[in-house]
Structures are given as C-alpha cells and as structure tokens.
C-alpha cells in the first residue's frame, strides 16, 4: 500500500518532466500550425483583463491579444488564472504567452522573458472612504494592516515602503483587496494604480479613497518563455507597429487613462 | 529527474514550512475537537424526541452539507463584517471548519447510533436510565467506537479542507507552497513539499486512530 503510493507519486512526477520536455523551439511556427494562440490571463483584472457585466471577456490586454491574433492570422484561446498562477502556467507550457498588467521585475525575469514595455504605471495605497488615514505617511505607522495580492508588484512595494506594517496576503484578483479593505479586515490596500481605479468603479460609489502619490513607477509588459525568442521578437515588432499607427494609444486612452469603458462594459 | 529539483530552495523555505505546518496542525486540531463536540450535540438534537430540536439540527446539517466550504468561508469572512460581526482570521477559519465538519460528524455519529440494536435502548429504558444516561453509558461508547474509521476519514478531509484558509490570508501549509511558488516560480518544489507535509499529518492521524481503536476493542474485551 505504502509502496504503491510512493510509486504513483514518482510516476506522476516522471509524467510532468516528460511533458515539459516536449516544449521545443519554434513557438511561432507551432502557433501557426496549431492555428491557435494560447494566452494566460486573469478574469478579475479590470481594466486589463476581466469579464464584463454582459459576461464577455474584455479589457485592455484582451483587446491587444485579439489584435495580436488578428495580425498572426490565428484564433485565440484564453486560459484563466489567478494572478499567482500566471507565471507557472506560462512556464509549464500550457500557454504560449502571458498577457496581464505585469511589471517585468528582475526577479520575474529570472524565469520568464518579457517583451518591451507598452505602458508605465505604479502602486498606490487605498483606504476605506471614512478611514482616518489621510496620507502615505500615516500608513507608515507600526501595526497598520495592509492587504496585498500574492506575488504582485504591490506586495513588494508595500514591503519596501512600509517595513513596520502587517501584510495580509490574498489570492485571486484585485477586487478581493477592495473587499478586504471595505470589510475592515485591513486598514489599507496596495495594488497597481490603474487596476485599483478601474476596479473600484464597479463598487458602490465612494466606498474607497486612493491616497495621493505613488509608491513606485513601473513598466508593464507581456511575457513569453525564454525558449520562445521568435515569439518575443515578433511581439516587440507588433508593439512598435501599434505604437506608430496609434492603435496602442487608442486602446490605453479608452481602457486605462479614462473610465470611458465603464459606459460599454 | 531529481536533478531538476531545487532542494536548496526547499531547505531555504523549511523554517516557513515548519511554521506553517504547526499552524495547520493546531488550526485543524482545534477545529477537529470543535467539530466532534458540535457533531455530538447536533446529532443528539437530530435524534431527540423534540420535533423543534430535531428540525433545527436537520436544517443546520442540510444547509452545511449542501453548500461548498469555500462559499461558507467567504460568507463568514467577507459577508459577516457587513452585518457588523468582525472576527479575526483564525477565529473565522476555525469557526467555518468546525461548523462544516460538525455537520458531517453529526451524520457519522447518527449512523453509529442507529446501528445499535434497539433492544439495548429498551433495556436501558427498562433499567430506569433517562435519555442522557442512555446516551452517556450505553449508546455513545459503542457508537463512537464503531465510527472511528469514518471519523478518521472526516478528520483527514478536515485537514485537507484547512488548505482553503490560505484564501483568507491565514498562513498555513498551502500558503507556504504558494509563497515559494510566487517568490521563486517553482511550483513543483513548492507544492510537492506542501503535499509531503499533508501526507505526514495523514500518517499521524492514522497511527492515532488505529491506536485508539485497539484500545477501545481491548477495553470492550475486558
């Protein structure tokens, strides 16, 4: 009985390693042959990638991916993950690329290969509307409880900016942080600014307040595996093209720099 | 194959794993004791002569068994504060696990009690024992002994369910694996180490249950 359990564990591990060995070079060719681009993304990451009130998947990153597939001449398959599941999904070969509002940190770049950034953003601190905390300085007090997302840039920025605060780490998407702050489990939350502003729009008006200032200034970019240099080069060229012909600006102005999308989604 | 495994990182995270292992142990132990107590109470109510008590226990058992634990947990954690009830994370977690497993224990114990021949209960009544005395001296000792195996099964489920507590920001074994994975992007190392610790808890529980089963049978033989 014990032996059998041990054997099955070993057998399943062997399967994992063998499967990961099948990921070979020539990702672009593979995608073209398959006729399908597989993309790891979030479902709770408004305004970048989320499911709107009509039940349709949409957002800035999703629209960009649709453009990518259109230019490639293939269909898209979106794979849903929580924030901390995105990189493992890419690494395990389940997805060809990762499309999220992800900062290409040096730590992440040890594992995955980022294409050139397409926009810049930063972490912000938000509190409940009636909170006594007025500024980022107030949050620096010892014992302040902060909600952060497991594996996010906000988590790192919060550790650096508020060494004396108590961090509570949540899994899922940005809205769960808003829920934790509104429910009073934490005094404040730290997450990407465009995400916080986009997501708070779906909560009752005036439930949260974003404190002035940013904790960091960080780029956002899509990512591929290091064994897909061809796909990375292609994506860099793609972003150059849409930067020059204005399609990127249109996308960001609609989704990120304003709340225009709220009317339609 | 094992070269692909980064044991250095696992060792580096061992203090975190130990801390989280102990957290899983005491959270589960507390919930287990609570769940058995709740189970015994709910089961006694379910089997009592009083229609009202029996109905209340029935509603509790059915509503818990028909809804996912994750939904219950999120309700207690995010829902109750909006109704003015604010509990610390670990209390919410233990409360949810206790209430959830309690319903299953109630059904397990009920099966054990109903397996006891009715003649014994009649004999108890004839000897002038009241309801509580019949439960305490005749029924429960036998029912609990007979149900050790299913109770162990439920205890294992409870330990595994405690992994959901990671979702309300409690540091426990599953969260340790998630942390390793999100810090170093090594899901194989992270989650296999977590799984190994759960396996360890399983063997601890199994050893304890076969020991107590032997002891019970031995006592009955005396």
pLDDT in tens, B24-34: 999 999 999 99
Q: Given CA atoms B193, A223, A218, A130 in this order, what sign does their dihedral have?
A: negative
pLDDT tens, N- to C-terminus, chain A (265 residues) = 455 656 665 565 555 555 544 445 589 999 999 999 999 999 888 899 998 888 889 999 999 999 999 999 999 999 999 888 899 999 999 999 999 999 999 989 999 999 999 999 899 999 999 999 999 999 998 889 999 999 899 999 999 999 999 999 998 889 999 999 999 999 999 999 989 988 998 888 889 999 999 999 889 999 999 999 999 999 999 999 999 999 999 999 999 888 888 888 8
pLDDT at A21 (0 to 100): 47
Distance separating alpha carbons of residues A221 and B208, to the nearest angstrom: 53
pLDDT at B158 (0 to 100): 96
Q: Say yes or no for a CB contact (<8 Å) between B183 and A151.
A: yes
Segment B172-192 mean pLDDT: 90
Torsion angles phi and psi, residue A101, rounded to 5:
-80, 65
- With beta carbons less than 8 A apart as the criterion, state whether B172 and B163 touch: yes
Q: Which domain holds residue B29?
A: 2-221
**Residue A135 DSSP class:** S
The beta-carbon neighbor of A183 closest among B4, B81, B188 is B81
In the predicted model, is pLDDT for residue B98 greater than 70? yes
Give the three-state DSSP class for B128: coil
> Has residue A1 been placed in a domain?
no
Set of chain A residues whose Cβ sits within 8 Å of the Cβ of B81: 183-185
> Has residue A36 been placed in a domain?
yes
Segment B51-69 mean pLDDT: 96
Q: Say yes or no for a CB contact (<8 Å) between B192 and A16.
A: no
Indicate which CATH number applies to the domain containing B72: 1.10.3720.10
pLDDT at A23 (0 to 100): 47
Q: Which residues pair with A168 in a beta bridge?
A: A147
CA of A246, closest CA in chain B: separation in Å? 35
- Regarding whether A136 and A76 lie in a shared domain, the answer is no
Per the structure block, which two tokens stand in for B19?
Answer: 């801390």
Q: Kindly state whether B166 is in contact with chain A, defined as any CB-CB distance less than 8 angstroms.
A: yes
The beta-carbon neighbor of A88 closest among B179, B183, B185 is B185
Edge-to-edge strand order for the sheet containing A145-149? A166-170, A145-149, A188-192, A123-128, A208-210
What does each C-alpha distance from B204 to B119, B149, B159, B198 come to in angstroms? 38, 14, 12, 10
User: pTM of the full predicted structure?
Assistant: 0.76
Q: Which domain holds residue A108?
A: 25-120+220-264
pLDDT at A77 (0 to 100): 95
- Regarding whether A62 and A107 lie in a shared domain, the answer is yes
In the predicted model, is pLDDT for residue B222 greater than 80? no
Set of chain B residues whose Cβ sits within 8 Å of the Cβ of A17: 1, 4
Per the structure block, which two tokens stand in for A17?
Answer: 């390693």
Q: Say yes or no for a CB contact (<8 Å) between A184 and B187.
A: no
Mutation target among A82, A146, A171, A176 for the B interface, most CBs of B within 10 A? A171
Set of chain A residues whose Cβ sits within 8 Å of the Cβ of B192: 13
The beta-carbon neighbor of A91 closest among B4, B167, B185 is B185
Q: Kindly state whether B85 is in contact with chain A, defined as any CB-CB distance less than 8 angstroms.
A: no
> Has residue A249 been placed in a domain?
yes
- Regarding whether A163 and A112 lie in a shared domain, the answer is no
> Has residue A193 been placed in a domain?
yes
Q: What angle do CA A39, A43, A47 make, to 5 degrees?
A: 100
- Regarding whether A114 and A87 lie in a shared domain, the answer is yes
Q: Say yes or no for a CB contact (<8 Å) between A184 and B86.
A: yes
> Has residue A17 been placed in a domain?
no
Per the structure block, which two tokens stand in for B61?
Answer: 């058992």
Number of domains in chain A: 2
> Has residue A144 been placed in a domain?
yes
Distance separating alpha carbons of residues A265 and A77, to the nearest angstrom: 21
> Has residue A171 been placed in a domain?
yes
**Is-cis flag, bond preceding A244, omega within 30?**
no
> Has residue A14 been placed in a domain?
no
Set of chain B residues whose Cβ sits within 8 Å of the Cβ of A179: 78
Distance separating alpha carbons of residues B88 and B155, to the nearest angstrom: 24
Set of chain A residues whose Cβ sits within 8 Å of the Cβ of B1: 13-14, 17
Indicate which CATH number applies to the domain containing A175: 3.40.190.10
Q: Say yes or no for a CB contact (<8 Å) between A150 and B86.
A: no
Instruction: Please state, rounded to an integer, the average pLDDT across all residues of chain B.
Output: 90
Set of chain B residues whose Cβ sits within 8 Å of the Cβ of A180: 78, 169
Number of domains in chain B: 1
- Regarding whether A227 and A111 lie in a shared domain, the answer is yes
Set of chain A residues whose Cβ sits within 8 Å of the Cβ of B188: 13, 16
Q: How deeply is B128 buried, as exposed, middle or buried, from its count of CB atoms within 10 A (0-12, 13-18, 19+)?
A: exposed
Set of chain A residues whose Cβ sits within 8 Å of the Cβ of B82: 183
- Regarding whether A186 and A106 lie in a shared domain, the answer is no
Q: Say yes or no for a CB contact (<8 Å) between A151 and B89.
A: no
- With beta carbons less than 8 A apart as the criterion, state whether A195 and A118 touch: no
**CA-based nearest residue to A146, from A128, A165, A171, A170:** A165
Segment B184-201 mean pLDDT: 92
Distance separating alpha carbons of residues B23 and B171, to the nearest angstrom: 7
In the predicted model, is pLDDT for residue B71 greater than 90? yes
- Regarding whether A110 and A34 lie in a shared domain, the answer is yes
The beta-carbon neighbor of A151 closest among B81, B82, B182 is B182
- Regarding whether A84 and A162 lie in a shared domain, the answer is no
* Binding-site residues on chain A for chain B (CB distance < 8 A): 13-14, 16-17, 84, 87-88, 91-92, 107-108, 110-112, 147, 150-151, 168-172, 179-180, 183-185
Q: Say yes or no for a CB contact (<8 Å) between A14 and B78.
A: no
Mutation target among A185, A186, A226 for the B interface, most CBs of B within 10 A? A185
What does each C-alpha distance from B191 to B112, B115, B171 come to in angstroms? 37, 41, 15
In the predicted model, is pLDDT for residue B114 greater than 60? yes
- Regarding whether A104 and A163 lie in a shared domain, the answer is no
Per the structure block, which two tokens stand in for A185?
Answer: 């489990």
Q: Say yes or no for a CB contact (<8 Å) between B178 and A171.
A: yes
- Regarding whether A170 and A87 lie in a shared domain, the answer is no
Q: What is the chain A residue with the closest CA to B186?
A: A88
CA of A142, closest CA in chain B: separation in Å? 19
Distance separating alpha carbons of residues A72 and A70, to the nearest angstrom: 5
pLDDT band at B220 (very low <50, low <70, confident <90, very high): low
Give the three-state DSSP class for B83: coil
Express each pLDDT in A70-112 by its tens digit. 999 999 999 999 888 899 999 999 999 999 999 999 989 999 9
């Amino acid at each position: 009985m014990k032996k059998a359990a041990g054997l099955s564990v070993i057998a399943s591990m062997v399967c994992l390693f063998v499967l990961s060995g099948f990921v070979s070079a020539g990702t672009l060719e593979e995608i073209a042959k398959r006729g399908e681009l597989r993309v790891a993304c979030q479902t709770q990451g408004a305004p970048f990638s989320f499911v709107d009130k009509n039940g349709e998947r949409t957002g800035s990153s999703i629209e960009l991916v649709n453009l990518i597939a259109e230019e490639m001449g293939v269909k898209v398959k979106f794979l849903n993950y929580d924030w901390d599941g995105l990189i493992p999904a890419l690494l395990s070969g389940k997805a060809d690329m990762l499309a999220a509002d992800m900062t290409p940190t040096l730590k992440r770049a040890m594992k995955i290969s980022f294409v050139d950034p397409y926009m810049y953003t930063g972490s912000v601190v938000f509190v409940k509307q009636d909170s006594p905390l007025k500024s980022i300085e107030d949050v620096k007090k010892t014992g302040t409880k902060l909600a952060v997302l497991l594996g996010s840039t906000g988590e790192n920025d919060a550790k650096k900016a508020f060494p004396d605060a108590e961090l509570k780490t949540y899994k899922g998407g940005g809205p769960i942080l808003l829920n934790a702050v509104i429910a009073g489990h934490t005094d404040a939350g730290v997450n990407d600014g465009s995400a916080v502003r986009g997501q708070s729009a779906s909560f009752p008006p005036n439930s949260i307040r974003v404190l002035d200032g940013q904790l960091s200034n960080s780029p956002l970019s899509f990512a591929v595996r290091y064994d897909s240099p061809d796909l990375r080069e292609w994506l860099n060229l793609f972003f150059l093209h849409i930067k020059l012909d204005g399609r990127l600006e249109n996308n960001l102005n609609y989704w990120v720099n304003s709340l225009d999308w709220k009317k339609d989604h | 194959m094992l070269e692909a495994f980064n044991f250095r990182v696992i060792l580096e995270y061992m203090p975190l794993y130990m801390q989280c292992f102990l957290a899983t142990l005491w959270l589960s132990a507390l919930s287990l004791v609570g769940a058995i107590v709740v189970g015994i109470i709910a089961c006694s109510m379910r089997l009592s002569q009083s229609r009202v008590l029996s109905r209340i226990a029935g509603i509790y058992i059915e509503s818990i068994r028909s809804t996912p634990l994750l939904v219950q947990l999120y309700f207690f954690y995010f829902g109750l504060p909006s109704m003015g009830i604010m509990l610390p994370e670990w209390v919410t977690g233990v409360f949810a696990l206790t209430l959830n497993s309690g319903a299953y224990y109630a059904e397990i114990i009920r099966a054990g009690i109903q397996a006891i021949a009715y003649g014994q209960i009649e004999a108890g009544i004839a000897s002038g024992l009241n309801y509580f005395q019949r439960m305490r001296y005749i029924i429960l000792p036998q029912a609990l002994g007979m149900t050790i195996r299913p109770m162990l099964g439920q205890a294992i489920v409870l330990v595994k369910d405690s992994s959901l507590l990671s979702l309300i920001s409690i540091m426990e074994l599953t969260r340790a694996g998630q942390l390793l994975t999100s810090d170093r992007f090594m899901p194989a190392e992270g989650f296999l180490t977590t799984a190994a610790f759960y396996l360890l808890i399983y063997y601890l529980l199994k050893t304890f249950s076969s020991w107590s089963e032997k002891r019970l049978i031995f006592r009955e033989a005396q």
